[in-house]
């Protein structure tokens, strides 16, 4: 399986942070986006940033900025579609997505996702972690907690995804389950590798983790 392209998803509204760009918040003297780029770059063949609004605010990062092609902020699937359309232009077969507000994701993310996809006609895999005592809306039938902004996505299904979005499908797992997507399990013994910054309190916690 060839090395995929990477797409950083930063197209959300950041309502719990009071709006604005979470990706540009700083921890340990670096923006969240800088930290995400640093983690993702060694794992992929090239990178782009999915973000809406004026792309000039990201000029300093040297990445192509891909806006959603579906209006109304329909969620991360729109960012995935933007990434797949960009990857198709590059002649790539797949992308890996990561969230711009999750600075500690695994350094072997792509390897584990691709290993899990072995044998699939269209590699479609979401990252997941074992469930503790908590229950979440992202829990799968196998009792895992899925992290739907972290996944391996095939360019071959981009038009299918476009059709699903136009039909009003917004929930990632509805579409991935329809295509029999798999789950790649990452350990949590050393903490949640997909800890993300949603609130000011999370930002303080991330600063402490750095």
Crossing angle for the helix pair 76-89 and 158-166, to the nearest 10 degrees: 150
- The reply, when asked if residue 50 is annotated as ligand binding, is yes
Across the range 160-168, mean pLDDT stands at: 95
The answer to whether residue 69 scores a pLDDT higher than 50 is yes
Segment 10-33, tens digit of pLDDT:
976 544 444 568 999 999 999 999
Residue 71 belongs to domain with CATH number:
3.90.550.10
- The reply, when asked if residue 51 is annotated as ligand binding, is no
Across the range 94-116, mean pLDDT stands at: 98
Distance of CA 4 to the CA centre of its chain: 13
Across the range 64-73, mean pLDDT stands at: 89
Ramachandran category for residue 193: left, alpha or beta (phi over 0 → left; psi -120 to 50 → alpha) = alpha
- The reply, when asked if residue 180 is annotated as ligand binding, is no
Q: What is the mean pLDDT of the chain?
A: 91
List the single range of 85-89, 104-108, 143-147, 159-163 with lowest mean pLDDT: 143-147
pTM for the model: 0.92
Q: What is the pLDDT of residue 131?
A: 80
Give the chain's domain count. Answer: 1
Dig out the tokens for 13 from the structure: 């509204």
Across the range 179-189, mean pLDDT stands at: 96
If pLDDT is split at 50, 70 and 90, which confidence band does 46 have?
very high
- The reply, when asked if residue 9 is annotated as ligand binding, is yes
Dig out the tokens for 43 from the structure: 């794992």
Residue 12: which residues within 8 A CB-CB, separation 6 or more?
22, 73, 76
Buried b (16+ CB within 10 A) or exposed e, 109-145: bbebbbebbeebebbbbbbbbebeeeeeebeeeeebb
Q: What is the pLDDT of residue 19?
A: 56
Q: What is the pLDDT of residue 17?
A: 44
List the single range of 7-21, 100-114, 141-155 with lowest mean pLDDT: 7-21
The whole-angstrom separation of Cα 63 and Cα 142 is 37
CA-to-CA dists, residue 144 to 80, 98, 204, angstroms = 22, 19, 27
- The reply, when asked if residue 59 is annotated as ligand binding, is no
The answer to whether residue 181 scores a pLDDT higher than 50 is yes
* Structural domain containing residue 85: 5-209
């Amino acid at each position: 399986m060839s090395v995929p392209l990477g797409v950083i998803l930063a197209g959300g509204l950041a309502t719990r942070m009071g709006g604005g760009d979470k990706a540009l918040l700083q921890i340990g003297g670096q923006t969240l986006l800088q930290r995400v780029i640093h983690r993702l770059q060694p794992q992929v063949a090239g990178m782009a940033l999915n973000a809406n609004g004026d792309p000039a605010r990201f000029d300093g990062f040297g990445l192509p900025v891909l806006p959603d092609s579906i209006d109304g902020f329909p969620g991360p699937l729109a960012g995935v579609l933007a990434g797949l359309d960009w990857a198709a232009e590059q002649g790539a077969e797949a992308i890996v997505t990561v969230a711009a507000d999750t600075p500690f994701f695994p350094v072997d993310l792509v390897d584990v996702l691709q290993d899990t996809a072995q044998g699939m006609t269209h590699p479609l895999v979401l990252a997941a972690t074992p469930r503790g005592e908590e229950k979440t809306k992202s829990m799968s039938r196998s009792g895992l907690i899925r992290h739907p902004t972290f996944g391996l996505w095939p360019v071959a299904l981009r038009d299918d995804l476009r059709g699903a979005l136009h039909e009003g499908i917004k929930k990632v797992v509805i579409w991935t389950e329809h295509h029999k997507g798999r789950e790649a399990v990452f350990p949590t013994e050393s903490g949640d590798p997909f800890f993300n910054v949603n609130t000011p309190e999370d930002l303080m916690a991330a600063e402490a983790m750095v």
